[in-house]
C-alpha cells in the first residue's frame, strides 16, 4: 500500500509499502526512472512487524522531504568547520592573553616593577582598545568589570553593577545585600504579625526555643 507515502524525491515515482508479516518492504509501485539515483537500488527492507513499517514510512517521508540532503549535509559541515576554526582562533587569543598577564606579573614581581608591567597589559589591549573615559563605569575598575564581564549579575536596586548574587538578585556590595534582606524580613514580619528578631530583643520567656 502507498497510503501516506511521499513520492520518490528524485524521479517522482509512486512508492508502496508491503508487509510480509515479519518483513516490511518499501519499493516503487512500478520502477524508478532509469536516470533516478535509486534506479539500481534494491527495495528498502526491514525485519519486524507493522511498527517497523511505520518507522520505515516515517524515515522515507523525511528523506523525500530533503531531496538535496547531500548538499544540506555539505553546507552543515562547512558551517561546523568554520565554527571550529573560530573556536581555535578564540582559544589562541585567550591563551595569549593569559600568557601576557603572566608576563605582566613577572615584570611586576621580578622585573622592572608595576609601571613596566602595565606595558604588558596595555599591549594586550591594542586589539580591543582601552575604555573611553566617558564610558559608564570607566573610572571604577570593579564596576567596569561587573558591568562588562561575559555574564553580568542582575543590576543592584541602586542602579550600579553587581558583584554579589543572592537568590537570583544582584547587589553592588554586601551592605546593599544586607539592606535588602532586612527589608524582606521586615515585610515578612509585618505580614505574619510576628516580631522581627534582630539579636537584641530580650528573652521574655526565660528559656530556650522549643
Average pLDDT over residues 196-200: 49
**Among 125, 127, 108, 109, which residue's Cα sits nearest to residue 117?**
108
Residue 42 has what pLDDT?
A: 65
Distance, CA of 55 to CA of 65 (rounded, Å): 15
Distance, CA of 188 to CA of 182 (rounded, Å): 10
DSSP result, 10-51: TT---EEEEE-SSEEEEEESS---TTSTTTTPPPEEEESSHH
> Which pTM was predicted?
0.54
Distance, CA of 46 to CA of 161 (rounded, Å): 61
What percent of the chain shows pLDDT beyond 90? 46
Q: Give 33 or 21, the one with higher predicted confidence.
A: 33
Region of poorest pLDDT, from 62-66, 83-87, 111-115, 157-161: 62-66
Res 123 pLDDT > 70: yes
Res 195 pLDDT > 60: no
CB atoms within 10 A of CB 177: 19
Res 30 pLDDT > 60: yes
**How many residues in the chain?**
210
In the chain, where the domains are located: 15-67, 70-124, 141-192
Amino acid at each position: 500500500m502507498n497510503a501516506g507515502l511521499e513520492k520518490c524525491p528524485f524521479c517522482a515515482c509512486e512508492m508502496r509499502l508491503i508487509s510480509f508479516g515479519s518483513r516490511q518492504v518499501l519499493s516503487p509501485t512500478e520502477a524508478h526512472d532509469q536516470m533516478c539515483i535509486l534506479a539500481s537500488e534494491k527495495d528498502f527492507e526491514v525485519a519486524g512487524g507493522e511498527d517497523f513499517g511505520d518507522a520505515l514510512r516515517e524515515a522515507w517521508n523525511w528523506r523525500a522531504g530533503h531531496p538535496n540532503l547531500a548538499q544540506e549535509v555539505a553546507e552543515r559541515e562547512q558551517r561546523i568547520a568554520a565554527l571550529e576554526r573560530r573556536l581555535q582562533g578564540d582559544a589562541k587569543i585567550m591563551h595569549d592573553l593569559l600568557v601576557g598577564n603572566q608576563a605582566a606579573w613577572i615584570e611586576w614581581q621580578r622585573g622592572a616593577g608595576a609601571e613596566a608591567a602595565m606595558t604588558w597589559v596595555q599591549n594586550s589591549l591594542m586589539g580591543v582598545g582601552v575604555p573611553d573615559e566617558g564610558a559608564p563605569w570607566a573610572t571604577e575598575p570593579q564596576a567596569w568589570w561587573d558591568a562588562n564581564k561575559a555574564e553580568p549579575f542582575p543590576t543592584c536596586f541602586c542602579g550600579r553593577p553587581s558583584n554579589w548574587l543572592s537568590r537570583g538578585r544582584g547587589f553592588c556590595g554586601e551592605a546593599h545585600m544586607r539592606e535588602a534582606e532586612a527589608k524582606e524580613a521586615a515585610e515578612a514580619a509585618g505580614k505574619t504579625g510576628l516580631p522581627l528578631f534582630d539579636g537584641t530583643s530580650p528573652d521574655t520567656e526565660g528559656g530556650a526555643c522549643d
